[in-house]
Amino acid sequence: MKTSDLIFDRSFVEGEWKAQGEAKFEIINPANGEIIKTVNDGGIAITDKAVDAAFLAFQSWKKTTAKYRAKILEKWHDLILDNKDALAEIMTLECGKPLKESKGEVSYGAAFVKWFAEEGKRTYGDIIPTHSEDRRLIVIKQAVGVVGAITPWNFPLAMITRKVAPALAAGCTVVIRPTEESPLTALAIAYLTKIAGFPPGVINVVIGKDAAGMGKFLCESEKVKKISFTGSTRVGQILMSQSSSTLKKLSLELGGNAPFIVFDDADIDKAIDGVIVSKFRNSGQTCVCANRILIHEKIYDQFSKKLVKVISKLKVGNGMDKDVNIGPMININAIKKIKGFLEDSISKGGKILIGGKIIGKYFFEPTVISNASLEMNFSKEEIFGPIVPLYKFSSDKQAVSMANDTNYGLASYFYSQNVSRCWRVAEELEYGMVGINEGLISTEVAPFGGIKFSGIGREGSKYGIEDYLDVKYMCFGNI
């Protein structure tokens, strides 16, 4: 299909495009400020209708076989890949990432659909050896029910499929609330679910600017049995509190403060490649971006010079343009945030080795700050932008201590060629994911998620479907 064929302006509920009221809002291209589309603001009212539709559809969808659900998921997977170019263009238009990255996300997102189409057939139960001659003990797994999926702007396709694919494979129905910055990608893939053959109401996408109100409604609805959220820790805490009255299952993939440690025996060139791929995806606006680069003092100067040289070759610009590596920040608030980080670091002794300037309205140069210290704000907070702070350490113990000195525990990275050190450090890092001599660790076959203030639960892999299932024990007596 053409890109224009996949751009819609209202919510997708019960298999149809539905507007609610007259309120509208504009979807803006962050690269140039142009209006991509004006969409209907359905708010809480459309969310209510979507929950009812999902609840009704669940009564029949949960009874279908995993094999039947897998066939439809496979069709959806194929349709996503068949329309990769159009979906990537929509993604780049609304969230700004370079077109090459958007195409990569389409493939990445589709991979979750493929994986869980198969994994849904493997939600095995158990036969438990009995404790009594006249009893038989059986365990089965059943779909939890309606799932509320609340997704961020920075991965508008993959964050949906990573939640929705396991839900659908398990037999759940879903109500997706994408962020107001990038709802067009969500609506586009929702349309493809209709073509794939999902029954009306199994998948619903609600559009609105009232993030707090719509989220609260999903959390407090007794018809919604699970919330899956990707976003900030602050909002995750609010959703967790709001879900307490109905004791929902929760999957929360929250903020990060990823350390990237470079030991003195590391392959420096490979480590720099790892920094680039880990730090600058989507202009540094991902939860697993390297936030703090910790470098052994013996190689600090050498590493810094090489890193600056590589970063100087990165191209900043509109994601639709050829060979662009760094697209725009999502909005003016994102620019203000990283400008604040920069100013704070300079006031506390940091030195700009490259970058540091705002270009136009929403672009920020890739920036390296040397002489970073623990007193600087980005030592404790997620940068979510193209700033690279360089810290110095002198021992393994100090490096691990600095890395763990945060409330967050999502992703971490380190480079070393010493096998013993690799095992030891990987075990000591307090993070849900560890990249060892690798800066790109996300894949559908491995569990994605964190510990501490970075969230609850895992997405992807065989573990990713478990939170969409209830365990039921059945005791057969008097046999």
Please give the positions annotated as active site: 253, 287
Amino acid sitting at position 56: L
Q: CA of 355: how far to CAs of 256, 282, 301, 343, in Å?
A: 24, 17, 18, 13
* Residue 35 φ/ψ, nearest 5 degrees: -80, 120
Task: For residue 221, give the 3-state DSSP assignment.
Answer: coil
Cα(262)–Cα(268) distance, rounded to whole angstroms?
Answer: 8
Cα(400)–Cα(69) distance, rounded to whole angstroms?
Answer: 45
Cα(413)–Cα(430) distance, rounded to whole angstroms?
Answer: 11
Helix (H) or strand (E) holding 387: strand 387-393
CA angle (466, 254, 232) in 5-degree steps: 140
Amino acid sitting at position 326: I
Q: CA of 436: how far to CAs of 79, 184, 261, 406, 409, in Å?
A: 35, 36, 10, 20, 16
Cα(443)–Cα(113) distance, rounded to whole angstroms?
Answer: 12
Cα(103)–Cα(335) distance, rounded to whole angstroms?
Answer: 25
Strand order across the beta sheet in which 224-230 lies:
16-18, 11-13, 203-205, 173-178, 146-151, 224-230, 249-253, 455-456
Question: What is the 8-class DSSP label of residue 240?
Answer: H
Cα(473)–Cα(125) distance, rounded to whole angstroms?
Answer: 9
- Contact (CB, 8 A) for 219 and 251: no
Cα dihedral: 171, 177, 183, 188 (round 10): 20
Residues 6+ positions from 47 with CB-CB distance below 8 Å: 175, 177, 206, 208, 214, 217, 218
Cα(458)–Cα(327) distance, rounded to whole angstroms?
Answer: 29
